[in-house]
Amino acid sequence: MKKASPKRIAVVDSSLLARNMYRVLFAPLGSSEIECWENSQSVKEKKKPDLLIVNSNAIPRQAEELPFPSAVPMILLMSPDRNDLKERFRNRPGVSLIEKPFYPYDLLSEMNRLLGSAADGRRRN
C-alpha cells in the first residue's frame, strides 16, 4: 500500500503569536507540512499548498487583486467587520468562511473536509 504524501498547509496571518498558535494546533496532524506566512503577497512567491488558511488581518482593506489561486481550497478566517471579503468570497467554490472568534475544532474539521475533497478531486462548499 502506497503511503500518502504529506499535505502542504499554508497559513497566512500577520500576527506572529497566531502563526505560532497554528503550528501548535496543527502539530498532532503529523501527516501535514505546515508553513506560516506573514502576508498575502507570500502566496505568489511560494510553492502551491494543498490548503490555504488566511486570516483577514493579512489582507489589506483596499486590495484590488488578491493572490489566492482558485485551484487551492481556502479557509478564510473573517473578522466580523470584513464585509468586503465576505462579499468577494461568499460564492467562490472551494472557499470556506469562518467568522472569528471560532473554536479550533471547527477549523480542524473544515480543514479535514476540504483536504478530503481535494484528495477526492471533488470540491464541496
pLDDT digits (tens, 9 = 90+) for 13-54: 888 898 888 888 888 876 678 888 777 666 766 778 889 898
pTM summary value: 0.79
Give the model's pLDDT for residue 45.
67
Place of cell 506566512: 37
When pLDDT is cut at 50, 70 and 90, the band that residue 110 belongs to is very high
- The domains of the chain, with CATH numbers, are 7-119 (3.40.50.2300)
Nearest to 45 by CA among 10, 87, 89: 10
pLDDT score of 123 more than 50: no
Cβ contact 89:110 at 8 Å: no
Q: Please tell me the predicted confidence (pLDDT) of residue 124.
A: 38
Cell of 77: 478566517
The DSSP element (H or E) to which 37 belongs, if any, is strand 32-37
Q: How many other C-beta atoms lie within 10 A of the C-beta of residue 48?
A: 11
pLDDT of 71 over the 90 cut: no
Among the listed ranges 43-52, 57-66, 74-83, which one has the minimum average pLDDT value?
Answer: 57-66
Q: Place 75 in a pLDDT band, splitting at 50, 70 and 90.
A: very high
Mean per-residue pLDDT for 87-112?
89
